[in-house]
A and B are shown apart, each in its own frame.
Chain A
């Protein structure tokens, strides 16, 4: 067994990985390479197949077909205890009958490692909980248990560390703190982290690369900035942050831009940010990229005229407006409260404007609400 944890090193490769339960495909022909040493996030709503994927990598679930390998070693048919993979479980799954010290030492003892004391102490120092070594898990707070769960896994120096919704049980403040801490630990130990979560903010804070999953498939993969800035599907546009998606048609071309007709108003979008195979598009613009004004200034760029405010939420750093456009669609506008001007009022006639380069266009055949109606807290 010791060889399992030391031999296989390198990139994690999933090839055509599929898991079916009867007719239902939880994971559908997934092919993916996760580079060694990266912090990778599988992001998606509950039931999208991300946890099943993680459990297959850990060996807790058997793939229906496909292959999993680390570096040159095929681990598809290996038992969980034969894989150089450790997991930080949801709700931590610490052994309630063992002390914190013995919890962390568990994997080391199974592999017959010599300097157990030294290694456990080192990792306890890393998570700054050396004073709790003799306690039982139930005597620790949620945040402390979380750190012990991480310590118990990384002490084994696996080729791959899997994190299954590791911060789901913590309150918001602690979650933020742990996000930073986990990222720091990952940089410190240099292991490959594969992180499964339904929380887009958590994924964006920590991961180098995010794969957005939906219905057993990867919708889009890339850095957090890439995914947020230039989503390629309506699901990604709605699941990562919010997007205003407006049905329209490409009617003309203007240099690097397409000219799009949105209910009679002409707007522009970069050709390089248009992901549609035909003229029917979902024209998309993020709420914070929109500027809102009561007067029709002649600013350069795209604009919608004739909207009126139907709802105003003042939330301190920004004000969120819901604006009804002439054709009846309501869109969101986030305005930074950085100019000392009091927020506009409900009912005000407004003009919305934005830089054409910020917008993007998606295939018009998609459901404009895909990815937005899922409640990320439902798990």
Chain B
């Protein structure tokens, strides 16, 4: 009878997760019917294959961009989280608020702001121009780099917070013990701090990589036609072309690939030993 208590959760899951997934899988195998925008169920499973082959480039690009953006976010967030956790003293809470402060402003607006920051009249371009690293003819916006910068920026808080969480939990006496047992600062970091922060690294990279791989806003605003990610294709197929079967099969494939990658990753990172 205690299972009865699970009912609200189960009903919620059934209505808002299982049912949409089944609808999605079903929609994917439909073919165009007589009227415009009308599709009939013909169980054409080959639709999935067509979707993969048709958008292989965008799939590849999505995972490439998401991987690079995740690595950049990790490189920025780790020192940041480390500083907040161990060195910030009384400013700890203020710094944590600042990490999430960007959420008070719309995601789209912040991404558009990067267009200004990286634009011909923006500070970044001017600075690089002064260093003669770019010529006035080049541009930073509408490039793969801009898309990746945008992704890394937008998901940085999702990387920082779990990292902070796991670093902050480390008992400072364990770090003292490492120093006491003949490990210098670098060895202590490598042998004690990093292994103990692995749960945060795993959580942070997943929280960054998964949404980044499915994102289309950054590629839309900061990219060009040749930087389209799989999210852009799905968006276009659903809303512009209204090829629902193709959009549905792309969505489902994206979901499957991400799930597989996450499973392999978690197994490799071996988090179950750490938590």
Minimal Cβ-Cβ distance residue in A for B176: A60
How many A-B residue pairs have C-beta atoms within 8 angstroms? Tell me. Answer: 69
A146 CB to closest chain B CB, in angstroms? 14
Q: Is the beta-carbon distance between B180 and A80 smaller than 8 angstroms?
A: yes
Q: Is the beta-carbon distance between B183 and A93 smaller than 8 angstroms?
A: no
- Does B192 reach chain A (CB closer than 8 Å)? yes
Q: Is the beta-carbon distance between A97 and B274 smaller than 8 angstroms?
A: yes
Contact residues of B: prevailing secondary structure: helix
Give chain B interface residues in 167-190, CB to chain A under 8 Å: 171, 173-174, 176-184, 187
| Total contacting residues, chain B, CB less than 8 A | 20
Query: A95-B192, A97-B196 in contact; A110/B182 too (CB < 8 A)?
Result: yes
Would you give the 0/1 interface string for B185-207, flagging 1 where the beta carbon is closer than 8 Å to chain A?
00100011001101000000000
Minimal Cβ-Cβ distance residue in B for A81: B182
The interface of chain B, by Cβ under 8 A from chain A, is: 171, 173-174, 176-184, 187, 191-192, 195-196, 198, 273-274
Q: Specify which chain A residues have a CB less than 8 angstroms from the CB of B182 in the assembled complex.
A: 1, 4-5, 81, 107, 110-111, 156
Minimal Cβ-Cβ distance residue in B for A112: B182
- 13 A-B pairs within 8 Å (CB atoms) are namely A4-B182, A58-B180, A79-B179, A80-B176, A80-B180, A89-B173, A89-B180, A91-B173, A96-B174, A97-B195, A107-B181, A110-B187, A156-B181
Would you give the 0/1 interface string for A168-194, flagging 1 where the beta carbon is closer than 8 Å to chain B?
000000000000000000000000000
A21 CB to closest chain B CB, in angstroms? 15
- Does A152 reach chain B (CB closer than 8 Å)? yes
* B179 in complex: contacting residue of A60, A94, A152, A156, CB < 8 Å: A60
- Does A86 reach chain B (CB closer than 8 Å)? yes
Q: Is the beta-carbon distance between B174 and A152 smaller than 8 angstroms?
A: no
A152 CB to closest chain B CB, in angstroms? 7
- Does A106 reach chain B (CB closer than 8 Å)? yes
Q: Is the beta-carbon distance between B176 and A110 smaller than 8 angstroms?
A: no
Minimal Cβ-Cβ distance residue in B for A2: B182
* A81 in complex: contacting residue of B184, B198, B274, CB < 8 Å: B184
- Does A87 reach chain B (CB closer than 8 Å)? yes
Q: Specify which chain B residues have a CB less than 8 angstroms from the CB of A1 in the assembled complex.
A: 182
A181 CB to closest chain B CB, in angstroms? 21
Minimal Cβ-Cβ distance residue in A for B180: A87
B91 CB to closest chain A CB, in angstroms? 20
Q: Specify which chain A residues have a CB less than 8 angstroms from the CB of B184 in the assembled complex.
A: 79, 81
Interface size bracket, A side: 20 to 34
Query: A97-B274, A110-B187 in contact; A89/B181 too (CB < 8 A)?
Result: no
Complex Cα gap A94–B273 (Å):
16
B96 CB to closest chain A CB, in angstroms? 24
Q: Is the beta-carbon distance between B274 and A152 smaller than 8 angstroms?
A: no
Q: Is the beta-carbon distance between B179 and A86 smaller than 8 angstroms?
A: no
Complex Cα gap A58–B176 (Å):
10
Q: Specify which chain A residues have a CB less than 8 angstroms from the CB of B179 in the assembled complex.
A: 59-60, 79-81
Q: Specify which chain B residues have a CB less than 8 angstroms from the CB of A91 in the assembled complex.
A: 171, 173
A-B contacts besides A1-B182, A110-B183, 12 pairs, CB < 8 Å? A58-B180, A81-B179, A81-B180, A81-B181, A86-B181, A87-B180, A93-B173, A97-B198, A97-B274, A107-B181, A107-B182, A153-B180
Q: Across the A-B interface, give the 9 residue pairs with the lowest CB-CB distance, nearest first.
A: A107-B181, A110-B182, A93-B173, A80-B179, A93-B177, A97-B195, A81-B182, A87-B180, A93-B174
Q: Is the beta-carbon distance between A87 and B177 smaller than 8 angstroms?
A: yes
A99 CB to closest chain B CB, in angstroms? 11
Q: Specify which chain B residues have a CB less than 8 angstroms from the CB of A60 in the assembled complex.
A: 176, 179-180
* B171 in complex: contacting residue of A93, A152, A153, A156, CB < 8 Å: A93
The interface centre, meaning the residue of B176, B181, B183, B196 with most chain A CB atoms within 10 A of its CB, is B181
Q: Specify which chain B residues have a CB less than 8 angstroms from the CB of A240 in the assembled complex.
A: none
- Does A68 reach chain B (CB closer than 8 Å)? no
Q: Is the beta-carbon distance between B181 and A152 smaller than 8 angstroms?
A: yes
A117 CB to closest chain B CB, in angstroms? 17
